[in-house]
Amino acid sequence: MKLATMFQVGLPYLVLTGGLLVVMIGVAIKRTHAVAAVLTIATLIATTLSHIVAFSALGDGAVQITPLFKVDGVAYLFNILFLLAALVVAFFGSEFLSRRVRFKEEFYLLLLCATLGSLVLPAAVHFASLILGVEIVGISLYAMIAYPEKARPPLEAGLKYLVLSGVGSTALLFGMAMIYAGSGSMEFANSLPSDGSIEGQYFYLIGNAFFWSGIAFKLSLVPFHIWTPDVYHGAPSIVTGFLATVSKGAVFAVVFRYAIEGNVLDSGNVQFALSIIACVSMVIGNLLALLQTNLKRLLAYSSIAHMGYLLIALLLVESNSALGYETVILYLVGYFLMTLAAFGVISVLSMNQEQELDSIDSVSGLLWRQPIAGAVLIISAISLAGIPLTIGFFAKYYLFYAGIDGGMWTLIGALVVGSAIGIYYYLRIVFTAIKRPSDDAEAMTGLPWTGLGILAFLGLCMLAFGIYPTNLIDLIQNVVQASGF
Amino acid sequence: MHLLWAIPALPLAGFLILFLTEGRLPRSVVSSIGAGSVGLAALLTGYVAWQFTSSDSSEFVSSSWTWMIVGEFNVSFRLWVDALSLVMVSVITGVGFLIHWYATGYMSEEEGYSRFFCYMNLFVFAMLILVMGDNLLLLFLGWEGVGLCSYLLIGFFHKVPEFGYAARKAFVVTRVGDTFLIIALFLIFKQVGSLQIQEGLTFARESMPDPATINTIICLLLLGGAVGKSAQVPLQTWLPDAMAGPTPVSALIHAATMVTAGVYLIARMQDFFMLSQTAMLCVAAVGLVTLFIASFTALVQSDIKRVLAYSTMSQIGYMFFALGVGAWSAGLFHLMTHAFFKALLFLASGSVILAMHHEQNMFKMGGLWKKLPIPFIAMLVGSAALVALPLTSGFFSKDAILLTAWKNSPYAILFWTVAVIAAFLTSLYTVRMMVLTFFGKPQSEMHELKKESLWHPSRIRTVVPFGLLAVLSIAGGWMGFEFTSDLFGDKGVHAEFHFDPIALLTLGIPFAGVVVGYFLFASDLVDRRKIIKNRLSDLLSKFWHSGWGFDWLYDTLVVKPFRFIAQTRTNRNDIVDLFFKLIKFLASLFHHILSMFQTGHVRWYAFTMVGGLLLVFLAVVWI
Amino acid sequence: MSVMLLILLLLGAGVVAWVSERVNTTLPNWIALITFVATTLWVLVIWFNGPDTDGLYANLNREWIPRFGIDLHLRVDALSLMLIGLTTFLGIVAVVSSWTETKTRHGFFQFNILWVMAGVIGVFSAFDLFLFFFFWEVMLIPMYFLIAIWGHEDKEYASMKFFLFTQISGLLMLVAIVALVWINYNISGVLTFDYDVLKEANLDIATARLLMLGFFIAFITKLPSVPVHTWLPDAHTQAPTAGSVILAGILLKTGAYGIIRFVVPMFNEASKEFWVWGMSLGVISILYGGYLAYSQTDFKRLVAYSSIAHMGFILVGVYSFSKLGTQGAIITMIAHGFSTAALFMMAGAIQERLHTREMSKMGGLWVRAPRMGAVTMFFVVASVGMPGLGNFIGEFLVLIGAFQKSVVLTVFAAIGIVVAAVYGLSLMQRSFQGVPNPDVPKMHDFAFREMSVMVLLMIALVWVGIYPQSLLQMTAPLLSELLRPTL
Amino acid sequence: MTTALSIPLEHVFFLAIILFLIGAFGVLIRRNIIFMLLSLEIMMNACGLAFVAAGARWAEPDGQIMFMFILALAAAEVAVALGLVVQLARRFETLDIDRAEELNG
């Protein structure tokens, strides 16, 4: 492995880290919001673009950088996805900060840190890099969640997340330790118990139990979902957007890698446990959202369900890892768009408010009071419900296809039930948004145009991919195949 | 080139014109279109009839476009006329025209004049299709069409709710019969593979499987249909209420033409019925029972039109009876004569009612004969024919039926006796009607007659139909039923009239009836009050008056239960929906239960996480 | 190709109508009206040009998502053409019927109407199962908007119910479609959603049964048939007039179309075993629907339940597996489209004038508005099944076809005819006949706008009634293909 | 590989698990945020111990390396945590975590 290619392949990480340092120093020298924002956005764009170089260097197959990282096309796809999401967050964030917060600049540092962490994960093939990435994301998120000063909810959310995710991380770590004890290696590739000793098997299983519990917490799967609504609710909705998309997506990327490389699902017990977790997550998540009147909490619960859906793709890796990867990537693309759009709408609407407008009534008649935001909210709700003309439909279609391909009929049943319940509350959002606005409801003016513009862009993407997803699907398929799955 | 197609086309044209102009035409035009179209049709019928008799072909056909072809199922709009249908056509157009003519006078004061003739023309059209259609589906079209028109015309005065109910009752009750008929159609198609009447008859003659239980079923279903339309037991209850319609309607639809459709149907499907003794017996029995019941009922009615309605029922009973005992031609003959004199009776009663400001209760009339001479004479002639006094048309037809019954029916004595008793009763109630209406002293003082309505200007309009119908009621029978007998070739049973006790008895019965009737109702020799005081007769009269309680029966058995189930709020919105409501309820219940866990206490959250950890641990390690 | 243009035209016109709202509030109505008239004429032209050699009026097959062998495959045969014609024609009716009804957002209203129609046409012409499902779901969204925005007092509940029922049943169908494709892929190695290919997939009977159920449930929910009919009355009652017209006139037909086009030909053996259930469901719908129709006091609700009864005939006809039955079902679809559309338009007109649907608050309207009375009478009589009008042809063919299959069920279905008379006439009497209700405000009779449409509908019904052959001969060649080896 | 003096692996893991549970128990029962954080530290150390033991089983240094990681990680986490605790004291005027329960339902 020539050092040059290694540098080229690792270029995105270097760029991002470099940008991070620059911003940090910049902030240290002189606090200027505009500069920080521009630098951050530039960094993110640069990192995204650097993938072009990286791709060309990568060619087919994968490049192993130290035992810790293995970079391949799929990882890059995830990276780009996360970076774009971070970009959107940065844009919204700049608006949000400039209007709502006194000390703005550190936010960008945290954001870049978190992004870096999330970029680490898709390429991680080693427990060390895994915990590294997870914790980088996690710790920067604690701060981001509790970022606004003086307000109580963000702080409460931050603390809750800190304590609980601390517990989660310890479970994760403990699990790793046990697995290591069982298998004798912390690389995913050979993390199966090497010597046939009984205790080895036991260590391995116990380890997996802890490990997956930790992961389930990060992905907010039942029964580790319970923190989700409070944190989503308390955090500034733009941070919530980041938390809901990037952090989850990154964790998913890494456990996917682990499941494939480490053949975890060979052990029927783990598969069984995961299937159960998936089923209950789909059903309970949706049930919890059913009559929820707070938009952010509602989306939190629905995210529980969506993560449950995604487990179907994870469970497929045994039989058909390529399809599994396609599914998870396309689904994440869709899910990122919808979720960012939804939280984006909330944050854009709340720009000029003291409290965030997160109750469902606050969007009543939105389509008529603020057409763009309203339309985008409706589109994303429809997309989350998985109804055609939006990418959400293709995401759901992929799930069905994957489920049938894996013959997981129970999961499909749960998926049907879940989506059935889901339609109800997503549609409630739509109905509220198209209501005839009450007379005292004033038309919303003075909203930032950048924000609305990004919203419109997200909405258009959802529609475009919902009508002609062919190119996206082909791209994903090619990359996945090129990466040798 | 015969103009068969034009006969129904004319009334149809009339209907369309009146329908599309939405009653914007002046009344004179309306009446000339309404009555004129039918009149032309009548003339045309005469012409076609002349062609028919002069030509040696036994059927006229006029084809038009295909209705539908699906696989082997093939029907088209094809008119097919033989002697039988021709008789019907003549009756429909002829009597129809006279009644239309009369109606131009009768309805002249009513609103919705144009609407009335619109419906009437539509009716004539449908009726013609019924008798001229060459396949059963076309017949069914006419069949339903006349039903619809009867509904529309009974409820013509749509402001009076009772009339609306009467109309609905008529439609629904006949619909029940129609359902039998349509099922019969299905069965015939299944058997014959076609709905062509002639093919069906050929099939019945030649290749009907033996034993023909299927055939019997078919016949009984057809009978069901006929019973519905012709107001025979057990579906007779709608006819008396149908008298709610304007009198010309009662005359045309509920006396002369539509109600006899059932007779035509059975006559038309003769070859099927010939094969099945059971069916024939049923036909006869139905006729007889109706005849019997209706006559008694007519005896105690107070509403003049209801009397006539029940008498119509009983006369049609005669026709069914005739068909049942195989006196096909006699039955048809009676159909024809009955059309004449019953139409006459209705029209006359109509003028009386009109003159009495729509008072129909006979007990409030009386002594009208010198005030209304022309209706009186008309009524007299009609009654004479009804009670079948010799040399009136009714005499020839009814006599023929009775004789055949005696000669030819399975249970000759029984059948004949019942029929004769009924004949006796017929004379009784007819006399009663005449006496109460025209003789005796005026019963109520509201007797200043609306002369203009009767004498001027509608005089000529009213008188001419009276005259013509009266002539027909007398002379209609002289041609003898040989006229109709060749309709059925040798299949019909003929009974020549020659003197023997039976014949004399049949001859005498009507007179006896008249005499007894005179003593009962007119003279003072018998004290009527004593009879009525008697509790038994009181009970009987109540029972009879209610039409032997059929209405009550159906009301309690069918209508009330249906209403009850339907109207109770319990199921206004759909039991089935409860199931889905239950699902909704359960979902929200679970939602609330689950939401209880979201207390917001970190330590509780941590606790659930540890619990979850244990669960997963168990799932992975010990399962 | 022409179909795609048709759909695009409707979509485009929708957008234009929406925008044109800014210019003038009646402009959208005109745009929509013109569009529908134009499309109707277009369809007529295609109609009279006649099919090509293999019986198609239009055919378009492009790749859409090659990854899964999904094609943009639109094809119009006789059946599709008829229904497309019905769609565009009822489009005119819908626009006219709610010409003055909408008080707000005329543009968006017409936009939705046009888009529903586009979706429906897609459903009727899609020959790729994925595409079919796509349109199947797409057409719901604008319909949902129509009910949810312009609906009456209880619109949230009604629209939600409508959407949930159709969506959830749709999910089942999606599972069935994907499973079918996947199985076919494993058997034949070809990954495709194409109708013609999948029709030939040789499934083992057990699988076929399950998959058929997936489709069947979705379709009878849309039809709707007992026991999944309960969304219909609410949706109808709450929808604006145009919504009801489209819903009853066309959307229900998509369910029937689905059964005829997909369930029966694709899962032939399975459906043949299934006939008893199919027919029984139909009969139950006929009787139960009729009985409930009678017990309603709300004009629209009554008509809604009556269309449940009529749709029952379609089930009976299709599951009789006879040419007669199928033809009958097809004719019923067309005729019921006309008659019910008219009745709902009437209901809307009455509500617009009296601001109520309660028949107890009506009565004696004939005196106030004789034209409306006559028109209502005509269509009530039609839906009661009067020979010479379209509905009778359909029901008669259905029954005579079913009679060959099962006498008992047919007899019960025939009882439905009597029930129809009962509720039909009671509707007539309760609303239009009887003493004029004193506290009913003066109402103006039908003017040219409404009357012209009504006359068109009447002509259509009479035409179907006395010359159904013109339709029958079009679909006759399809029957063998639809019924597969039967007969 | 194990010398006569070495401690059996199971014992160590039991110790680790016990530590882990003690920590978890602490998180569950203590209201005071500071003590909760302490308990978290204990859990982390339990993980570290487990890693070391696992490394010992394979006679590799990886275990100890991971322990270093964990220490660093804990340090970072506590750094942020204490900041938040200060804020908690400011905005809620308490260290009782149960007072922070405004977000629920």
Look at chain D and report how many structural domains it folds into: 1
Q: pLDDT band for position C287 (50/70/90)?
A: very high
Smallest CA–CA separation between D103 and chain B, in Å? 6
* Contacting residues of D for B602, CB less than 8 Å apart: 36, 97-98, 100
Contact A423 C144 (CB under 8 A): no
pLDDT value at position D104? 84
Contact B600 D27 (CB under 8 A): no
Query: Hey, is D13 helix, strand or coil?
Result: helix
* Contacting residues of B for C468, CB less than 8 Å apart: 67-68
**Residue in A closest to C136 by C-alpha:** A388
Its sign, for the CA torsion A425, A427, A432, A433, is positive
Residue B449 lies in a domain: yes
Q: pLDDT band for position B571 (50/70/90)?
A: low
* Closest CB from A157, A163, A180 relative to D103: A157
Q: What number is the average pLDDT over the span B263-278?
A: 88
Residue B32 lies in a domain: no
Smallest CA–CA separation between A470 and chain C, in Å? 5
Contact A420 C149 (CB under 8 A): no
* Contacting residues of D for B596, CB less than 8 Å apart: none
Same domain, B493 and B586: no
* Contacting residues of B for D36, CB less than 8 Å apart: 602
Residues A262-283 have pLDDT tens digits of 888 888 889 999 999 999 999 9
> Which has the higher per-residue pLDDT, B440 or A225?
A225
D53: CATH: 1.10.287.3510
Q: pLDDT band for position B497 (50/70/90)?
A: low
The Cα–Cα gap between B88 and C109 comes to: 58
Residues A91-150 have pLDDT tens digits of 999 988 888 788 888 999 999 999 999 999 999 999 999 999 999 999 999 999 999 888
D interface residues, B as partner, C-beta within 8 Å:
24, 27-29, 31, 36, 97-98, 100-105
Contact A180 D62 (CB under 8 A): yes
Residue A435, phi then psi, degrees to nearest 5? -55, 155
DSSP assigned state of A354: S
Smallest CA–CA separation between B579 and chain D, in Å? 29
H or E segment and range at residue A484: none
pLDDT value at position B271? 86
* Closest CB from A205, A213, A270 relative to B612: A213
Token pair in block for residue C274:
């299934």
Contact C396 B580 (CB under 8 A): no
Same domain, B297 and B374: yes
Nearest to B349, CA basis, from B411, B438, B228? B438
Burial category of B590 from C-beta neighbours within 10 Å (exposed 0-12, middle 13-18, buried 19 and up): middle
Contact D50 A150 (CB under 8 A): no
- Is the per-residue pLDDT at C474 higher than 70? yes
B74 beta partners: B69
Interchain contact A179–B (C-beta under 8 A): no
* Contacting residues of A for B612, CB less than 8 Å apart: 213, 216, 222-224
The Cα–Cα gap between A384 and C288 comes to: 38
Residue B75, phi then psi, degrees to nearest 5? -130, 150
* Closest CB from C322, C400, C436 relative to B186: C400
**Residue in D closest to B597 by C-alpha:** D105
Residue B444, phi then psi, degrees to nearest 5? -135, 160
Token pair in block for residue B330:
């006699």
Nearest to D12, CA basis, from B365, C287, A199? A199
Residues 6+ apart with CB under 8 A from B206: none
pTM of the model: 0.92
Averaged pLDDT score across all residues of chain B: 83
DSSP assigned state of B325: T
Contact C168 A477 (CB under 8 A): no
The answer for A 138-177 residues in CB contact with B (under 8 A) is: 159-160, 163-164, 167-168, 171
Smallest CA–CA separation between B599 and chain A, in Å? 9
Contact D77 A162 (CB under 8 A): yes
Omega before residue B26 within 30° of 0, cis? no
- D with C: 3 or more CB pairs under 8 Å? no
Torsion angle (degrees, nearest 10) of CA D11, D13, D19, D20: -160
Which chains sit next to D, with 3 or more Cβ pairs under 8 A? A, B
Query: Hey, is B67 helix, strand or coil?
Result: strand
Instruction: Go through A434-455 and write b for each residue having 16 or more CB atoms within 10 A of its CB, e for each that does not.
Output: bbebeeebeebeebbeebbebb
H or E segment and range at residue C232: helix C231-238
Strands (E), C82-162: none
**Residue in D closest to A211 by C-alpha:** D47
Place of tokens 């959307």: C251
H or E segment and range at residue C256: helix C252-258
pLDDT value at position B499? 61
- Is the per-residue pLDDT at A86 higher than 90? yes
| Domain around D58 | 32-97
CB pairs under 8 A between A and D: 132
Which chains sit next to A, with 3 or more Cβ pairs under 8 A? B, C, D
- Is the per-residue pLDDT at B487 higher than 70? no
Q: pLDDT band for position A58 (50/70/90)?
A: confident
Smallest CA–CA separation between B592 and chain D, in Å? 10
The Cα–Cα gap between B616 and B621 comes to: 8
- Is the per-residue pLDDT at B443 higher than 70? no
Residue D3 lies in a domain: no
Place of tokens 């449930």: C217
Contact A419 C68 (CB under 8 A): no
Name residue C9's amino acid: L
Cβ–Cβ < 8 Å for B291, B548 = no
* Contacting residues of B for C233, CB less than 8 Å apart: 573-574
Residue ending a domain, choose from B504, B526, B548? B526
Place of tokens 């979706």: C119
pLDDT value at position A199? 83
* Contacting residues of B for C327, CB less than 8 Å apart: 70
Same domain, B359 and B481: yes
The Cα–Cα gap between A329 and A309 comes to: 13
pLDDT value at position C170? 94
B66 beta partners: B76
Burial category of C189 from C-beta neighbours within 10 Å (exposed 0-12, middle 13-18, buried 19 and up): exposed
Residue D7 lies in a domain: no
Q: Which of D11, D27, D64, D80 to mutate to test the interface with A (most CBs of A within 10 A)?
A: D80
The ipTM is 0.92
The answer for D 8-27 residues in CB contact with A (under 8 A) is: 9-10, 13, 16, 20, 23-24, 27
Q: What number is the average pLDDT over the span B500-516?
A: 78
Name residue C53's amino acid: T
Which chains sit next to B, with 3 or more Cβ pairs under 8 A? A, C, D
pLDDT value at position B485? 56
The Cα–Cα gap between B467 and C110 comes to: 66
Cβ–Cβ < 8 Å for C125, C84 = yes
Ramachandran quadrant class, B71 (left: phi over 0; alpha: psi -120 to 50; beta: rest): left
* Contacting residues of B for D101, CB less than 8 Å apart: 599-601
**Angle at Cα B32 formed by Cα B27 and Cα B33, nearest 5°?**
100
Q: How far is CA C200 from the centre of its chain?
A: 28
| Domain around B609 | 573-622
The Cα–Cα gap between A335 and A246 comes to: 10
Q: pLDDT band for position B480 (50/70/90)?
A: low
- Is the per-residue pLDDT at B455 higher than 60? no
The Cα–Cα gap between B79 and B61 comes to: 6
- Is the per-residue pLDDT at B477 higher than 80? no
Q: What number is the average pLDDT over the span B125-145?
A: 92
- Is the per-residue pLDDT at A327 higher than 90? yes
pLDDT value at position B486? 59
pLDDT value at position B537? 73
Least confident of A72-81, B369-378, B422-431: B369-378
Q: How far is CA B175 from the centre of its chain?
A: 11
Contact B595 D101 (CB under 8 A): no
- Is the per-residue pLDDT at C224 higher than 50? yes
The Cα–Cα gap between B322 and B326 comes to: 6
* Closest CB from A131, A135, A159 relative to D100: A159
- How large a percentage of chain B has pLDDT more than 90? 21
Q: How far is CA A158 from the centre of its chain?
A: 18
Cβ–Cβ < 8 Å for A199, A231 = no
Q: pLDDT band for position C485 (50/70/90)?
A: low
Cβ–Cβ < 8 Å for A446, C190 = no
Same domain, B512 and B578: no
- How large a percentage of chain C has pLDDT more than 90? 67
- D with B: 3 or more CB pairs under 8 Å? yes
- Break chain A into its structural domains and give their ranges: 267-485
* Closest CB from A401, A423, A428 relative to C167: A423
- Is the per-residue pLDDT at A382 higher than 50? yes
Residues A159-214 have pLDDT tens digits of 999 999 999 999 999 999 999 998 888 999 888 887 778 888 888 999 999 999 99
Per-residue CA distances from B132 to A361, B486, B597, C474 (Å):
70, 18, 80, 30
Same domain, B499 and B586: no
Token pair in block for residue B455:
């004498």
Q: How many CA atoms lie within 13 A of C59 on its CB side?
A: 9
pLDDT value at position B573? 65
Least confident of B172-186, B526-540, C185-199: B526-540
Smallest CA–CA separation between C163 and chain A, in Å? 9
Report the 3 state secondary structure along B92-155. HHHHHHHHHHHHHHHHHHCCCHHHHHHHHHHHHHHHHHHHHECEHHHHHHHHHHHHHHHHHHHC
Same domain, B522 and B585: no
Least confident of A464-478, B294-308, B544-558, C363-377: B544-558
pLDDT value at position B481? 55
- Is the per-residue pLDDT at C487 higher than 50? no
pLDDT value at position B456? 42
Q: How many CB atoms lie within 10 A of CB A203?
A: 26
The Cα–Cα gap between D97 and C99 comes to: 62
Residue A71, phi then psi, degrees to nearest 5? -95, 130
Total residues belonging to chain D: 105
H or E segment and range at residue A66: none
Place of tokens 């005696």: B406
The Cα–Cα gap between A306 and A314 comes to: 13
Which chains sit next to C, with 3 or more Cβ pairs under 8 A? A, B
Contact D84 A181 (CB under 8 A): no
Averaged pLDDT score across all residues of chain A: 92
Query: Hey, is B210 helix, strand or coil?
Result: coil
Contact B591 A287 (CB under 8 A): yes
Q: What number is the average pLDDT over the span C373-402?
A: 92
Residues C266-283 have pLDDT tens digits of 998 899 889 999 999 999
Residue D50 lies in a domain: yes
pLDDT value at position B488? 61
The Cα–Cα gap between B336 and B557 comes to: 37
Residue B477 lies in a domain: yes
* Closest CB from D29, D102, D105 relative to B598: D105
Cβ–Cβ < 8 Å for A467, A474 = no
Q: Which of B620, B621, B622 to mutate to test the interface with A (most CBs of A within 10 A)?
A: B620
**Residue in B closest to A273 by C-alpha:** B619
Residues B32-45 have pLDDT tens digits of 888 899 999 999 99
Smallest CA–CA separation between A131 and chain C, in Å? 36
pLDDT value at position C486? 46
Residue D78 lies in a domain: yes
Contact C164 A419 (CB under 8 A): no
pLDDT value at position B569? 53
Same domain, B593 and B458: no
**Residue in B closest to C476 by C-alpha:** B70
**Residue in A closest to D75 by C-alpha:** A139
Nearest to B347, CA basis, from B382, B393, B316, B306? B382
Residues 6+ apart with CB under 8 A from B368: B352, B355, B375, B376, B437, B438, B442
Alpha helical stretches, state H, B155-268? 161-192, 197-207, 213-229, 238-242, 247-251, 261-268
Its sign, for the CA torsion B458, B460, B463, B466, is negative
H or E segment and range at residue A64: strand A62-65
